[in-house]
Amino acid sequence: MKNIKVIIIFLFSFSVLFAFAVKEQWRRTFTGIKGIVQVVADEKGGCAIATLDTNSLIKVVWCDKKGNVIYCSDKFLVSYIATIQSVSKNQLVYLATSPFPLFVQVDKKGRVTPVISIGGYMYPVPLTATAGNLNKFVDKKGFFVVNANTNIKSHAVIRYSYK
């Protein structure tokens, strides 16, 4: 009886995927990292991804709706709960700590503009205003899944469409 319940649950779960017509659109695989700590959808099929390496350094990768890399940051020390602050098809804004705490704005061509506070200082700890955007896996046309493959020690962000 127990095996029948497992089979029924499996078949139901499998049929749900087909009912929603889920389709993989693209994937971005990372190796040699500890994990993926943040994924933020851009509402157009792309996303920004924050990865954490084995030395506790973070890297931000911005992908377009086809999974192509628009921008990849240098590695920097982790100081924020929410590194990625916002992402759209036109720009990415994230918090970095190198060479000191600052915001980084990247345009759709990958041009970087550091945003610093002249005569001031940006807090090296998250404030309510800077820690609001942790993860956003879903948009109108699809969603993202993080896959950790422990057999080959890789992590992937996979984009699925609803159709």
Listed by start position, the domains of the chain span: 21-161
Residue 76: its pLDDT value, please?
Answer: 86
Q: In 19-152, where do the E strands start and end?
A: 23-31, 33-41, 47-53, 57-63, 69-72, 76-77, 84-87, 91-96, 102-107, 112-115, 142-149
Q: Report which of residues 45 and 81 the model is more confident about.
A: 45
pTM above 0.85? Answer: no
d(CA 137, CA 149): 19
Per-residue pLDDT of 69-117, as tens digits, reads: 999 999 988 765 678 888 999 999 988 876 677 788 999 999 999 887 6
Per-residue pLDDT of 110-160, as tens digits, reads: 999 988 765 555 555 444 444 445 789 999 989 999 999 888 889 999 999
